[in-house]
Chains A and B, each alone.
Chain A
Amino acid sequence: MSKPGLAGFKAAFGLPAMGLFCALAGFGALSEAGGMDIRLMMTSVILIWSMPALMTFNEVLITSGGISVMFIAVAFANVRNIPMVVTALPMVRTAPGIRWAKDLTLAQLMSPTTWIHILVTSDNVPKTARRQYFTVFSITVLSAALAGALAGYFGVSRLPPEVRPALLLLTPLYLTLIMMSVRKLTGYLSLALGAIFVPIAMHWSVEWGLALGGLVTGTAGFFLGGGQRRNAGS
């Protein structure tokens, strides 16, 4: 592979970029509807760069959850990135061991789209070219996402009024369906229990309901789904 950067760009500039463009268009529309400043929205996309964590940021901001709730909620929403980073980085390293600057850069750029692409296509990319290939891939999908966020933010007011609310459905629906793609009983149960009880807990207390609701229902889903038994036996 003579030009891994160009190859990474070409691989991203199709469905991966389009998917994130559409997803972030919904986020842009949602942010505009919530009265979020455009600079804050664009900066949040670059810095947080994970749809569940971005949606969590948006919701906690709207509900005035406070700094500690923001930290806890975003950390838990982003926890699913840990296994992604842990499994993807060894596939792009040319030598064992952590290289903090390079690894953190790729980790910061990583989204589920990039992660899946690394898992699926790594074998087709020479090991020495992988870091450049996937870095360019990640930057391309991030750029598409930023363009989508801008389009959603400014485009929503130009749509017919009766169609605008439908665009606000895009991001939460996309994320719900992504979570349903994880074919694990513990995941399904946690999602279902959280979907029912977290909103109720947040009705009681926005600040504590979110963190405690997620903690309790996620733990319940883990144990009811037999997560501890399967792992203990494996």
Chain B
Amino acid sequence: MSLSVNLSDPWVLLAAGFAAAFVTRAAGVAISGHVQPDTPVFEWFACVGQALVGGLMVRAIFLPTNPLGDTLLIDRMLAVGAAFAVFFLFHRRLLHSTLAGVLTLAAISVWRTM
């Protein structure tokens, strides 16, 4: 009897994602108490993570494959601009800045249908 696993099955991909997330957390536990986090290799790892996630977020906002793509690019840019403005003008408050961006896009979308 052979057991075949569909490697593109979402649950298999979730298992891979969980394994990857767990490995990084376990690595954190293993080296906690032994290594100072403020070292070059940690900073490099953080930089790669930052670049990778940053790229994915830009794709999610400006090249979306979901209904966000139904809105105009200029509207999304205005919404992101509003979020950044609130972020830098009001002490980097995450919740306020994020809501400013989301509400801006919602307001523009409603305005365009009027």
A72 to B95, CA, bound (A): 30
Q: How many residues of B contact A (CB 8 A)?
A: 80
Let me know if B55 and A217 touch, CB within 8 A.
yes
Chain B 53-80 interface mask (CB, 8 Å, partner A; 1/0): 1111111111111111011000010011
Looking at chain A's contact residues, the main secondary structure is helix
In the complex, are the beta carbons of A83 and B53 less than 8 A apart?
no
Cross-chain contact B59 with A59 (CB below 8 angstroms): yes
- On whether the beta carbons of B47 and A190 are closer than 8 Å, the reply is yes
Type the 1/0 row for A165-194, where 1 means its CB is closer than 8 Å to any CB of B: 111111111111111111010110111111
Kindly state the interface size class of chain A when it binds its partner.
35 or more
Bound form: Cα–Cα A14–B66 in Å: 31
A147 interface hit (Cβ, 8 Å): no
Q: A190 to B7, alpha carbons, bound, how many Å? A: 32
- Which A residues lie within 8 Å of B10 (CB)? 36-37, 40, 61
A87 CA / B36 CA spacing, docked (Å): 8
- A25 CB, nearest partner CB in chain B, Å: 10
Q: Is residue A8 within 8 Å, beta carbon to beta carbon, of the partner chain?
A: no
Over the window 21-41 of chain A, the binary record of Cβ atoms lying under 8 Å from chain B Cβ atoms (1 yes, 0 no) is 011001000100110110010
Interface residues of A in 59-108 (CB under 8 A from B): 59-64, 66-68, 70-87, 89-90, 93, 96-98, 100, 103-104, 107-108
Q: List 16 A-B contacts (CB under 8 A).
A: A19-B95, A53-B17, A70-B17, A82-B37, A82-B42, A104-B29, A162-B110, A162-B113, A179-B50, A179-B53, A189-B47, A213-B52, A218-B44, A219-B47, A221-B47, A231-B43
